[in-house]
Structure formats: structure tokens, C-alpha cells
Structure 1
Amino acid sequence: MTELWNWRIDRVRPVEVYPALAEALGRMVMPLAAADPGQLPVHAVICDVWSAPGEFGTVVDCYGVPDGLSELHGVAALARLLDRACVLRDDTLDAGRHLLVTPDGTIRPVHFDVRETDDGEELSGQRLCTLTHPTCRGWSQCHRSRWAPDSVAPALAAA
């Protein structure tokens, strides 16, 4: 139980996330504020959900995710249950590059403008990661990713 997952959801109330996440993961989900480390059920997932500025303003951190759970399957199931798109960081070192997971399970790389604010990281200006954009061509970090520019995959094939 060592993984940390960090996702952002397209505007949903934090109170709606906990039961949907429990259903998506098939595990009990405990809010971080209420989690007593000495009394946690064995396979519980500890989760913190809050609002941040900008696009995809609902932030979800999952702590101590049990081994064997697939992050991509989990976020795809959450997107479907909430009927909201979600984003998560991709495998590059580009702070603005994320994976967009839509409610139908489609996964594709996207870019955001990222700005630090007093209320947290703000994402804005979403655009697809595509070879038609100059910053995604050539030697960009986009080509070092498992998710090349213009790639699109269903969630089950991606995991």
C-alpha cells in the first residue's frame, strides 16, 4: 500500500466523490479528515477531496492504495459514475501535460496552462496534445511518453 493517486475532476462537489470512488474502486473510502490510522479497515483507501481554482477544479488525492488496483481503471470508472471528465498527470516531467479521461473511458493526452495561486494549482487553456501544435512536435517531452501526441485509447486497453 504505497501508491498515491492524484486526479482532478471537471467540477463536481467533493461530497459526491467519496461514494462514487468507493463504487469505482470496490473498496471502502475514508475521508482523510476522519481516518484514524489505528482503526483503518485493511483495504480501505484514504482520500482527500477539495476545490481548487480553474478548470478541473475538484482535486482528489488517494493515499495508500492497495496493490492490484489499476489507477487508469479506477479513474475511468469514476469518470463514468460521475459523468464528468477527469485528468491525471502523465508520465512526462511536463507539469502542464495530463491525461484526459472522459466518461466513456476514452483516454488522450492534453496540455494545460498551469499557474500557482494561493488557493492551489490552477489549470486553464486545455488543448489536445497533437502534432499539429508546434510545442508537441520534434523533440518535445510528449514523444517520450507512453501517450504520444494524437494518441487515443479506451480505458481497458490502456491499463
Structure 2
Amino acid sequence: MDGMADPPAATGLWNWCLDGTLDPGRVRAAVAVAVRRPTIELAGPPVPGAVQCDVWHTEGEFPTVVDCYLAPSDVPESVAARAVAARLDSRCLLPDDSLDPSRHLLITPDGGIRPVHVDVADTDAGPRWTNVRPCTGIDVWCQGGRGGSRPAAAA
């Protein structure tokens, strides 16, 4: 042993999107501060303990997409996302743990976090997130309906 501690274990993948078209370097720097370790571009040379952070742009209300590979297991994803949202003064969407593809968590720059529904459409530029609306738990999106479409009225 050379006296150096092993890097913390990694949990895998985090996928977020941020409102505004943000500079990838600025986003990676915010992630690095939030997780307290270096970040590198996805195609960059490997750095022990670093988070691989791919930042790219698409269309919609949340056009900056952040994919973090080798995310640290000692930092909860929502804690990191809150820190990034605050540092960048940007709203952040991340998937929640439900199986509903339209349901996400919306994190605001002031640290607020709440469940929301959002329409996700595939485009040539990648996914597009639009039409963010609160999750009430009683709306059609939480009752098994398709996001944005209401069931037909009974005859």
C-alpha cells in the first residue's frame, strides 16, 4: 500500500436535464463541486475516482442534458442535483423512482424539490422535455393514463 485511500465506490448512471443552454464546462465544474471529486468528459482520459460527465444539448424547456457515469455511491443523487441546480441557478429534472416515464423530480435553485409530470418526446436532437406540471397524485398521469391525454368520458 502506498498510503492512498481507495476512491469511493461508484453507483452507475445519473441522468438529469437543466433549463437553459448551459456551457458544458460550467456544468461539469458544478458537478465536481457537488460530488467533491473531479469530473472528466466522457471521451477524456481516465482519472481514478473521477465522474465521467457527458453534457450535451437538445430542444425543449430543459435543453441541457447531463449524464454522469461512475457516479459516487457516497453522495445521494438528489443531494448532488440540488447542489448543481443552486450553483448554476437552474431548474433540474431527474427521474423519480416510480415506473411512470412522465414523472420526474423538479429541483429548483433554492433547493425545493417536488414531483412533477413532463412530456418527453424523441426528436432528432434527442429527448425534449416540455409541459412541466405538478404531480397531484390524483391526476390521470398518476392513475395509469398516458401523459397529457385524458381518458374519454364514459358514455
- TM bucket (normalised to shorter chain) is 0.7 to 0.9
Inter-partner Cα distance in structure 1 for 2:121 and 2:72: 32
CA positional deviation for 1:132:
6.2
Residue segments in structure 1 that go unaligned for 5+ positions in a row: 142-159
The letter of the residue matching 2:23 is R
Aligned residue pairs: how many? 135
Residue 26 of structure 2 is matched in structure 1 by 16
CA positional deviation for 1:134:
4.0
The letter of the residue matching 1:124 is T
1:98-113 paired onto structure 2 within 5 Å:
98-113=104-119
Instruction: State the TM-score, normalizing by the size of structure 1.
Output: 0.78
| Residue from 60, 71, 88 that aligns with 1:65 | 71
| Residue from 3, 15, 23 that aligns with 1:6 | 15
Residue 157 of structure 1 is matched in structure 2 by none
CA positional deviation for 1:133:
3.5
Inter-partner Cα distance in structure 2 for 1:15 and 1:66: 20
* Deviates most, 47-56 or 12-21: 12-21
Q: Secondary structure at the match of 1:2?
A: strand
Asked whether 1:32 is paired with 2:42, we answer: yes
Do 2:117 and 2:133's aligned partners in 1 also have CA atoms closer than 8 Å? Answer: yes
Which of structure 1's runs of 4+ aligned residues deviate more than 6 A? none
Asked whether 1:122 is paired with 2:128, we answer: yes
Residue 48 of structure 1 is matched in structure 2 by 54
Inter-partner Cα distance in structure 1 for 2:84 and 2:133: 22
Q: Secondary structure at the match of 1:24?
A: helix
The letter of the residue matching 2:59 is P
Inter-partner Cα distance in structure 2 for 1:109 and 1:131: 9
